Amino acid sequence: MNKILQEQFFVKDLSADQKHVITDLNAYIKQGLTGKPSSVAIIEGAAGTGKSVVLMELVRQYMTDKNYRTSLVVNHPELYKAYRDLAESIPNMHAKDIRRPTSLINFAQKNHQKYDIIFVDEAHLLYSKSEPYAHYRGQNQLTDLMALAKVVVVVYDFEQVFQSKMYWDKELLYKTIGDHPHQLFSMNFQYRMVASDNQVAWMDNLTAEKPLRPFPNDSDFEFKLFDTAGGMFDAIKQRNKEVGMSRMVATSGFPRIDGRHNVEMDSFSLPWDEWDPQRTHWAKREGSITQVGTIYTLQGFDLNYVGMIIGPSFGYDPQTDTMTVIPEKYSHKEIFKKRKDIHFSRDEYKTFIANVLNVLMKRGKYGLYLTAYDDALRQRLLELGTEK
């Protein structure tokens, strides 16, 4: 398992905190297998706390044991491919038992299939409404999964909610669970990044529109500000040559230029990431160094270094000395789709957009390189970077 952890999650072994959570989860799962109605174990934590690492250890334990009928579901297409690859590296585990949630629900309902345990990674990507275009005609995928299994183990991060069709908050989660037994397993320790708590807090404060401050210099995490995206790309390419898994990423909002919808800024011009049916996920493909990653290819994945371009939908307010979120400049319209049962305010849409930036900034284990499309925001960040 150590080799698998290293290759997929860039970690050599489980931490003491993670082992403690796994022990508690095992006790809860075994209790839930004997009772009715179905039980729900909620693994909650922010980006980088190792939620998927914990989940995969549970998956390894139960999905390789033929005494249990199990399945792992994930709605993120790139993560789905990665987990199916991972299954081939684990003895007695089968890739066919890893499915997208709609596929599992439709298959199980048609064939009257029941499970002992269903594991759900990135459960904040489950549909919380009907989505006929994606062949899901139920009303809530978590409700359907609870009806199929004795125990459902779900991984949630409410700060990784970006779209109305996949909207979740704690109130909706507990309303959906209803009278089913459930327990929250909180993971509040940073594990992916070598960054300090102060440095993680700086990223959180930036996206929360709090007053800007110099980036703390109190760990080995490498933080660099760049005046140009072109210069930052050169640095990322060098890091990629040295240690691999270093990529450029950006948020939405870049204008079309001469018919191109690339990420274009100063001398930098690269296309957005592209979905590819090949099994190797985007972050591990060599060719992805010449594309710009998004939440759709990187959510749930680790990199060594991230080159983050803060897109046009973020500006600067000198009166409050804060980075601001400008929904009108966010060009990916999927975020703004309406739904009948919930009305979203402008501030909630701003939160969706800020969440995208927050998650992308935290993809890098060893470093974050940063620039901004907006001139005033970029200059203010550079000014803070020169302060002692």
**Spans of all domains in the chain:** 2-187, 197-386
Structure tokens at 158: 């409410």
Helix (H, G, I), strand (E, B), or coil: what is residue 171?
Answer: helix
| Residue 102 one-letter amino acid | T
Predicted confidence (pLDDT) at residue 59 exceeds the cutoff of 50: yes
For the domain made up of 2-187, give the CATH fold. Rossmann fold (3.40.50)
Specify whether the CB–CB gap between 179 and 37 falls below 8 A. Answer: yes
How many Å apart are CA 294 and CA 369, to the nearest integer? 16
- Residue of 137, 142, 167 lying closest to 152 (CA atoms): 142
| Residue 138 one-letter amino acid | G
- Residue of 84, 81, 79, 103 lying closest to 95 (CA atoms): 84
Q: Identify the pLDDT of residue 284.
A: 84
The count of C-alpha atoms lying within 13 angstroms of the C-alpha of 100, restricted to the half-sphere facing its C-beta, is 14
How many Å apart are CA 249 and CA 232, to the nearest integer? 11
How many Å apart are CA 28 and CA 119, to the nearest integer? 14
pLDDT tier, 2 (very low <50, low <70, confident <90, very high otherwise): very low
- Would you give the DSSP letter of residue 148? T
How many Å apart are CA 176 and CA 136, to the nearest integer? 17
β partners of residue 222:
367
Lowest mean pLDDT among 125-129, 140-144, 256-260, 264-268: 256-260
- Helix (H), strand (E) at residue 313: none
Determine how many CB atoms are found less than 10 A away from the CB of residue 63. Answer: 23
Predicted confidence (pLDDT) at residue 5 exceeds the cutoff of 50: no
128, 187, 362 from 203: Cα distances, Å: 28, 19, 8
How many Å apart are CA 352 and CA 189, to the nearest integer? 23
- pTM value surpassing 0.95: no
Specify whether the CB–CB gap between 168 and 128 falls below 8 A. Answer: yes
Specify whether the CB–CB gap between 248 and 285 falls below 8 A. Answer: no
Q: What is the pLDDT of residues 65-88, one digit of tens each?
A: 999 999 999 998 888 888 888 888
Specify whether the CB–CB gap between 316 and 377 falls below 8 A. Answer: yes
Q: Identify the pLDDT of residue 6.
A: 47
Specify whether the CB–CB gap between 373 and 310 falls below 8 A. Answer: yes
Helix (H, G, I), strand (E, B), or coil: what is residue 200?
Answer: helix
- Helix (H), strand (E) at residue 265: strand 263-265
Lowest mean pLDDT among 90-94, 95-99, 245-249, 307-311: 90-94
Specify the higher pLDDT residue, 387 or 231.
231
Specify whether the CB–CB gap between 332 and 274 falls below 8 A. Answer: no
Residue partners of 103: CB distance under 8 A and separation at least 6? none
β partners of residue 367:
222, 305
Structure tokens at 41: 């174990």
Determine how many CB atoms are found less than 10 A away from the CB of residue 310. Answer: 24
Q: Identify the pLDDT of residue 132.
A: 87
Predicted confidence (pLDDT) at residue 359 exceeds the cutoff of 80: yes
Specify whether the CB–CB gap between 54 and 25 falls below 8 A. Answer: yes
